[in-house]
Structure 1
Amino acid sequence: MILTVTPNSALDVTYTVPSLRPDAVHRVGEMWHRAGGKGINVGRVLHTLGEDVHLIATAGGPAGARFAEDLLAAGLSAELVPIASETRRTTTILSTVDSSVTLLNEPGPKLKPAEWAALVETVREAVGRASVLVCSGSLPPGAPPDGYAQLLALADGIPTILDASGDAFRAGLPGRPTAVKPNAEELREVTGLADPLVGAAELRRLGAAAVLVSLGADGLLASTSDSDWQARPSAVLTGNTTGAGDAAVAGIALELARGGSWPDVLRRAVALSGAAVLGPLAGDIDLDHYHRERPAVELLPRSRSR
């Protein structure tokens, strides 16, 4: 069973508009509400692939109730830690003309110390049944700065993945995750280094065993203890990119659970990332594209400076 943890869960609201223009009234074409947050999206992808996955998240207020209802309707196995404040909303505005995506992310409700403690205990009770632990997204206000390091420390010999940004990401590195997956901007923010290979080496020095950097249309860069690789998709895709990184994490988790090599990890992650771009909402994937793309991903070794 793959276990995902989403401390700062969200009710995702997605609007489609022909194009997004400042100082203008927009008529919405389609609108969706669904349970979201990075770990939830990872879980959706794994569930679609038929994998055994269990989700742990927080939920509170009317938005939290709707969040819980959506998980149930989707058939996702989940434990929700109740919180007093209301679950945040995230808003995605997708332009149907040029496929541009605009995100509005609320910071999230402030957790009480007892609520954080309940989340930690819920993870502690579930992680013994897990083959991989995935910790994803931002930490909510009120969570301890080293919250992710605390959660990663609960894993007993199983692979762990950290997908976060900023201070929460950096403070989680002492938890020694098996893999981290920043995008290029997040990597620069945390390390201050422009070269992604040099930045990845710095993250490994700080505690990550392997670093997989999202490069957008250029695929994924992987830096491990003994080698560096870049995996590129066979074609550039247009669509909704909001769930592409989460789909890549799902691929990493699945391959780590199966004991795959890093090249296998990269091929699966890049194929799922592209399949997510073709899905209508974060957490959705185009299965036909995934199966076609996985063997077509281009894998290139990167030379490591000495």
Structure 2
Amino acid sequence: MILTVTPNPAVDVTWIVDRIEIGGTHRADAGAVRAGGKGLNVARVAHAAGADARAVATVGGATGDELRADLEAGGVPHRLIQVAAPTRRSAAWVDRALGDTTIVNERGSNPSGDEWERVVAACREEVAAASVLVIAGSLPPGAPTALLPELIALGSGIDVVVDTSGPGLLAAADAGVAVLKPNRAELVEATGIADPVAGARELLRRGAGLVLLSLGADGLCALTAADQLRARLPEPLAGNPTGAGDAAVAAAACLLDAGIRDTETILRRAAAWSAAAVLMPLAGEISPRWRELKNALIVEKLSAP
């Protein structure tokens, strides 16, 4: 079973407009609303792919009620911890003309110490049945510095996958997690190394088992101590990249859950699912064309450091 933990979930609202003009007025059809946050997106993709997945997250206020209702309607197995602060919101504007997306994320509110204790306790109970633990997304401002290491420690003896940013990325590498999934900007920010591939190698040096490095339109890299590969499509895809990284994490988690650890196999599936997510209007979904995209991938070795 894949257990996902989302420390800072959101209610995602997505609008599709013909073209975004800075300072202009835009009209769109009613926005699509769904439960969001990286871990929830991972659970949704994994569940749709037939994996046994379960999501843990916090909920609060009216937006929390919306999040709960969407998860229940979508059939995603979940355990939600009630907190006092309202669940944050995230807004995405998809520009049809440019084929890209503008996103504004609320930072979120930090639960109390007692509320965090209930989150950790729930994860401790749920992880007993898991073979893969995924901790994904940002932490709300003011979250305890010990929270991420505490959550990672719950996965002792199973594969732990972390997709986060800032100091948490380094803490996860130091903890020796199985998989880290940074993007270019997150890696440079965390390590201070301008070359993202060199930054990924620094995470390996610190203890990470596999680094899936997202380079956006330039593809996806997979680096381990033994293998260093990049997968890319012949041409970039236009669409909504909001959930592309989450789909890559879901791919890695599903393969690990099935006992598959080959680096190239994980890279090809992760790159294909990531690209397939770009073709979908909402995060947490992948296009059925993912096999076609996997067959079109160009996989090459990265140059030695």
TM-score of Structure 1 vs Structure 2, range by shorter chain: over 0.9
TM-score if structure 2 supplies the norm length?
0.96
- Which deviates the most, 135-144 or 124-133? 135-144
The equivalent of 2:27 in structure 1 is: 27
Distance between the aligned counterparts of 1:225 and 1:79, measured in 2?
36
Matches within 5 A, 1:60-79: 60-79=60-79
The equivalent of 2:18 in structure 1 is: 18
- Which deviates the most, 186-195 or 240-249? 186-195
* AA matched with 1:40: L
How far does residue 156 in structure 1 lie from its aligned partner after superposition? Answer: 2.8
CA contact (8 A) 1:232 1:298 kept: yes
The equivalent of 2:282 in structure 1 is: 281
Deviations 1:182-206 (A, max 9, x none): 0111111111112222111111222
Q: Which runs of 5+ in 2 are unaligned?
A: none
Distance between the aligned counterparts of 1:220 and 1:146, measured in 2?
30
Distance between the aligned counterparts of 1:220 and 1:139, measured in 2?
24
Distance between the aligned counterparts of 2:184 and 2:96, measured in 1?
26
* AA matched with 1:128: A
Distance between the aligned counterparts of 1:66 and 1:30, measured in 2?
16
Structure 1 counterpart SS, 2:273: helix
* AA matched with 2:268: R
How far does residue 97 in structure 1 lie from its aligned partner after superposition? Answer: 1.4
Distance between the aligned counterparts of 1:28 and 1:178, measured in 2?
42
User: May I ask how many residue pairs the two structures share in their alignment?
Assistant: 304
2:226 matches 1:226: yes
Structure 1 counterpart SS, 2:177: coil
How far does residue 142 in structure 1 lie from its aligned partner after superposition? Answer: 3.7
Deviations 1:238-289 (A, max 9, x none): 10010101001111111122222010000100110111000110011111x1
CA contact (8 A) 2:13 2:89 kept: yes
Distance between the aligned counterparts of 1:181 and 1:123, measured in 2?
21
Distance between the aligned counterparts of 1:173 and 1:108, measured in 2?
25
Distance between the aligned counterparts of 2:151 and 2:225, measured in 1?
24
2:231 matches 1:237: no
Aligned in 2, Cα 1:23/1:197: closer, same or farther, shift over 3 Å? closer
Matches within 5 A, 1:81-96: 81-96=81-96
TM-score if structure 1 supplies the norm length?
0.96
The equivalent of 2:269 in structure 1 is: 268
Pairwise CA RMSD: 1.3
Matches within 5 A, 1:1-306: 1-260=1-260, 261-287=262-288, 289-305=289-305
* AA matched with 1:220: L
Distance between the aligned counterparts of 1:4 and 1:296, measured in 2?
30
CA contact (8 A) 1:147 1:172 kept: no
Aligned in 2, Cα 1:129/1:227: closer, same or farther, shift over 3 Å? same
How far does residue 176 in structure 1 lie from its aligned partner after superposition? Answer: 1.8
* AA matched with 1:34: R
Distance between the aligned counterparts of 1:9 and 1:233, measured in 2?
31
* AA matched with 1:82: Q
CA contact (8 A) 1:146 1:172 kept: no
Structure 1 counterpart SS, 2:47: helix
How far does residue 234 in structure 1 lie from its aligned partner after superposition? Answer: 4.5
Distance between the aligned counterparts of 1:24 and 1:233, measured in 2?
34
Same amino acid, percent of matched pairs: 45
How far does residue 30 in structure 1 lie from its aligned partner after superposition? Answer: 4.1
CA contact (8 A) 2:16 2:93 kept: yes
CA contact (8 A) 2:10 2:89 kept: yes
Distance between the aligned counterparts of 1:178 and 1:59, measured in 2?
28
Aligned in 2, Cα 1:196/1:144: closer, same or farther, shift over 3 Å? same
CA contact (8 A) 1:14 1:92 kept: yes
How far does residue 143 in structure 1 lie from its aligned partner after superposition? Answer: 2.0
Deviations 1:278-304 (A, max 9, x none): 0110011111x1122223322212232
